[in-house]
Structure 1
Amino acid sequence: MKKVTGLVSMLLVLSMFLAACGNSETGGEAGDSNKVTAWAWNINVPVLEEAAKKFKEENPDFELEVVEMGTDDVYSKLTTGLQAGGKGLPDIVLVEDDRVQGYMNAFPDAFVNVSDKGFDEMKDSFPSYKTELLSKDGAMYGFPFDGGPTGVFYRTDIFEEAGVKAEDIKTWDDYIEAGKTIKEKTDKAMIGLDLNGDDGLYRMMLNQQGTFYFNEDKDVALTSEESKQAMEVQQTLNEEGLVKETVGWDAWISAMVGGDVATAPSGAWLYGSITQQGKDTSGNWGMIQLPAFEEGGNRASNLGGSNYMIPSASANADLAYDFMEFFSTNEDVQLSAMEGGLFPSLNTIYDNEAFTKEVEFFNNQPIWNLLASEMENIPAVNYTGDYAVAKDEAVKAQSEIANGKAIDEALKASEERLKNRIQ
């Protein structure tokens, strides 16, 4: 009898241990239905923590554990967890726009259908390019967050020295001509680019034309007319000596805050880096929309941006949903995101005074209003699940063009390589 009792005791202890281990590899913890975990990076973390404080006002037992890690670590762990059927994943994970479709296609049942939980009632509160991105077969699988609208950040002191008026820049041809004048008058480059390492400018120019590496039918589109036009702008900038080669993030930021370049076309999130790393340049900044390819053409585009998703393996998906619904639609939470340069996708707050106020750092210009005005005009594009390999080929073409290869030849070669790589 003692042996049987001892065996039962051992089995009970073992089962409790396994239950605890199994639960620690998903979002919730045993017996703790009021706690959710989230994975996010840098400036997103304090926004989540502030939202949790507000959510606790009506849900006092609620707990949020935010695990901060870099983007590469998030995607590495997320991919590994999804391949393992959800093992080790949190209740909430931050995913950038260009990664969403890849995960949804590769792991079609990996994320919670938030339409089934009622989020469609809030769908009209977000721009269509974000809701389309997060949708599959008519249902949404995530919560739009950082919008990533673009603009041209520029140094007002350099423009004034050169006698150039930023408001006169309407097209990319105007931009190039302004760059020539600035180069002549101040010996400053117009733009910093890592032509051998990143294609952010090219992507912005594709997006504003309503296309991307792939067209809406998921066909490779590196040789499209829109792609050629974008590369032609970059080629002209380079050939005219208007580009300062900036290898890597730190060099790019340093060139801007150090006054080595006059402009930086980028996403709204650049605001955070400029204001933090260039504090002594306050008042010497301005912003205009991206130039169009033709007079009166579209000047709205996207670069970056992110969304929150709930893995289907979450042990506490209902509470995770309740918190993220609150997070996504609470105006105070979304306004707090702007403090770090994140741009809310929630369109119901664009008439708030935060969007019309003058920003001292930007020479008292209401830059948030400028960015909000383009949100509804940002085209939805097809990133597909092959975004990463397509970007690699686009950067190769960009590098070859910068080193003298003909645009048509470089893009055709990259398109053929890309097709072979994704077959």
Structure 2
Amino acid sequence: MSKWMKLSTVMLGISLIATACGGANNNNQPAATPGTGDNNVEKVELTAWAWNVNVGALNEAMTMYQKDHPNVSIKVEDIGRLDVYDKLSTGLAAGGSGLPDIVLVEDDRIQGYLEAFPKGFQNLSDKGFDAKADQFPAFKKELTSKDGKFYAFPFDAGPTGMFYRKDIFEKAGVDATKIETWDDFLAAGQTIKSKTGAYALPADKFKDDANFRMMMNELGVYYFDKDGNIDFNNPKVVQAMATLKKFGDADLVKDVNGWDGIVSATVDGSVATIPFGAWYYGTIIDQAKDTKGKWGVFLLPAFEKGGNRAANLGGSSWMLNADSERVDAAYGFMEYFSTTSAVQAVAMEKFGLFPSLQSTYSEPAFQADNEFFGGQKIWKLFGDEMANIPTPYYTKDYAMAMDEAVKAQAHVFMDKDPAKALKEAAERLADRTKRAVNNG
């Protein structure tokens, strides 16, 4: 899950819990696994590591699972996102010592863990997960697999959109439905700024590159290509950075300080749009309660008319400890959790976790009008987007790549040529990755 999910809260206004908790439409429940379904079988307590709202989602799912598997329970430790990774890395380096049965891992870290600890996680394909894989969008399947084998149960995702203030657009006389490309949005942003004073969008110019990542993903490129090669010099990567520079040059980007700065700009109306993952909905309804009815969402603008407008920002999946003595029971529960639409609908409604399971998009919650967003069917918009999201390719060097991309972005906002800034970033990243290999 993205770090931005920290302040996301319970979604409001959709009445699905009663149906979901009643077990309706649960056609994907797996056959009982040894140690899970028979009242005469020994009781099994699974252990898991997660953080924030994911803890509640897992516990809620277990409550539903226990209706048919009363001998299974779970103990979920909420130990914080970064603490999970510290403890996970330490345990894997020690051969699996002290690890839980189940652990939540953000999608941008999965490939790095699989590369560094190839025997640390259960091969889910060996347990039969391949038969369930087509229930998820292509990009999520690629992020959770390696060499054709699945190692993680796809969970939440972050389909992107432009959360926008309808009242600000209306005051400026701008029709959001007419915005199809980034050039359209640039022109609209200039009109909005001149007539209302609001910036087009926020960015932490010198510490985070979320807008750049969304733009790259939309173009089907990222820090690395499919083979793991540094891709900063790709013309499409340069195009994304150059487009962001246009907004900076036009003084349409409000420089904010981290997450708190984005939230403040959301609340005070100093920005007309916030490009983010679907999960940002929770922050808006929690932090900007007085703006109910003043919001709308449209897809990211395309780079050319008729071009792709789908991208993803954030998301996480569940992995199993390969050395667990309860791996069969853990697999049975997690297969149920990840492939049961009613369970995933509850995770979205109660905890704001946008599901990757495609069958969930036919649940009533995804067809409902959203009152806070003026009756717009925002969840249908995000659900329809999922199938078109290109895969962002991560490696174990993702953190270093992001660091260098942020430096390049900072230089570009200070008027350096995008191609030159990215070329220099690629050279720095190549040097750092080489030194990392040499150092062991």
Instruction: Find the aligned partners of 1:179 and 1:44 in 2 and give their Cα distance.
Output: 36
Determine if the alignment matches structure 1 residue 383 to structure 2 residue 394. Answer: yes
Q: Deviations over 1:260-301 (max 9, x none)?
A: 111011111111111111222211111001110000000011
Q: Equivalent residue for 1:296?
A: 306
Q: Equivalent residue for 1:251?
A: 261
> 1:313: how far off?
2.3
Q: 1:270 to 1:32 in 2, by over 3 A?
A: farther
Determine if the alignment matches structure 1 residue 265 to structure 2 residue 275. Answer: yes
Look up the SS of the partner of 1:63 in the other structure: strand
> 1:32: how far off?
7.8
Determine if the alignment matches structure 1 residue 82 to structure 2 residue 64. Answer: no
Instruction: Find the aligned partners of 2:323 and 2:208 in 1 and give their Cα distance.
Output: 35
Q: Equivalent residue for 1:40?
A: 50
Q: Deviations over 1:31-61 (max 9, x none)?
A: 9851011111112121111101001111112
Write the mapping of 1:174-193 to structure 2, written as runs, cut at 5 A: 174-193=184-203
TM-score where L is the length of structure 2 = 0.87
Look up the SS of the partner of 2:156 in the other structure: coil
Q: Equivalent residue for 1:109?
A: 119
Instruction: Find the aligned partners of 1:397 and 1:266 in 2 and give their Cα distance.
Output: 21
Instruction: Find the aligned partners of 1:386 and 1:228 in 2 and give their Cα distance.
Output: 20
Q: Equivalent residue for 2:369?
A: 358
Q: Equivalent residue for 1:15?
A: none
One-letter identity of the residue aligned with 1:416:
E
8 A contact 1:115–1:139 mirrored in 2? yes
Instruction: Find the aligned partners of 2:115 and 2:82 in 1 and give their Cα distance.
Output: 19
Q: Equivalent residue for 2:148?
A: 138
Determine if the alignment matches structure 1 residue 308 to structure 2 residue 318. Answer: yes
> 1:241: how far off?
0.9
Give the one of 200, 207, 211 matched to 1:201. Answer: 211
Instruction: Find the aligned partners of 2:150 and 2:117 in 1 and give their Cα distance.
Output: 15
> 1:191: how far off?
0.7
**Identity across matched positions, percent:** 53
Give the one of 312, 327, 331 matched to 2:341. Answer: 331
Instruction: Find the aligned partners of 1:270 and 1:101 in 2 and give their Cα distance.
Output: 25
Instruction: Find the aligned partners of 1:75 and 1:250 in 2 and give their Cα distance.
Output: 24
Q: Deviations over 1:194-252 (max 9, x none)?
A: 01010111011111111100112211111211111111121111111111111111111
> 1:255: how far off?
0.7
Instruction: Find the aligned partners of 2:211 and 2:43 in 1 and give their Cα distance.
Output: 45
Aligned length: 393
Q: Equivalent residue for 2:410?
A: 399
Instruction: Find the aligned partners of 1:182 and 1:250 in 2 and give their Cα distance.
Output: 24
Larger radius of gyration: 1
Q: Equivalent residue for 1:149?
A: 159
8 A contact 1:40–1:93 mirrored in 2? yes
Instruction: Find the aligned partners of 1:39 and 1:274 in 2 and give their Cα distance.
Output: 28
Give the one of 106, 116, 121 matched to 1:96. Answer: 106
Instruction: Find the aligned partners of 1:279 and 1:379 in 2 and give their Cα distance.
Output: 34
Question: Which runs of 5 or more residues in structure 2 are unaligned?
Answer: 1-40, 435-440
8 A contact 2:297–2:378 mirrored in 1? yes
Look up the SS of the partner of 2:415 in the other structure: coil
Instruction: Find the aligned partners of 2:42 and 2:161 in 1 and give their Cα distance.
Output: 45
Q: Equivalent residue for 2:384?
A: 373
8 A contact 1:33–1:316 mirrored in 2? no
Instruction: Find the aligned partners of 1:306 and 1:351 in 2 and give their Cα distance.
Output: 22
> 1:190: how far off?
0.9
Write the mapping of 1:57-72 to structure 2, written as runs, cut at 5 A: 57-72=67-82
Give the one of 275, 281, 284 matched to 2:294. Answer: 284
Look up the SS of the partner of 2:272 in the other structure: strand
Instruction: Find the aligned partners of 2:347 and 2:193 in 1 and give their Cα distance.
Output: 37
Look up the SS of the partner of 1:145 in the other structure: strand
> 1:257: how far off?
2.1
Deviant stretches of 4+, over 3 Å: none
Q: Comparing 413-422 with 82-91, which one deviates more in the overlay?
A: 82-91
8 A contact 2:43–2:71 mirrored in 1? no
TM-score where L is the length of structure 1 = 0.91
Q: Deviations over 1:334-356 (max 9, x none)?
A: 00122233211111121222111
> 1:312: how far off?
1.0
Q: CA RMSD in A?
A: 1.3
One-letter identity of the residue aligned with 1:99:
R
Q: Deviations over 1:367-405 (max 9, x none)?
A: 000011111111123111111000000000001111122
Instruction: Find the aligned partners of 2:418 and 2:142 in 1 and give their Cα distance.
Output: 32
One-letter identity of the residue aligned with 2:355:
P
Which fold has the larger relative contact order, with Cα–Cα distance below 8 Å and residues 6 or more apart in sequence? Answer: 2
Write the mapping of 1:158-173 to structure 2, written as runs, cut at 5 A: 158-173=168-183
Q: Comparing 60-69 with 383-392, which one deviates more in the overlay?
A: 60-69
One-letter identity of the residue aligned with 1:364:
G
One-letter identity of the residue aligned with 1:64:
I
8 A contact 1:207–1:302 mirrored in 2? yes
Instruction: Find the aligned partners of 2:389 and 2:180 in 1 and give their Cα distance.
Output: 17
Q: Equivalent residue for 1:8?
A: none
Instruction: Find the aligned partners of 1:285 and 1:219 in 2 and give their Cα distance.
Output: 40
One-letter identity of the residue aligned with 2:296:
G
Look up the SS of the partner of 1:374 in the other structure: helix
Write the mapping of 1:109-128 to structure 2, written as runs, cut at 5 A: 109-128=119-138
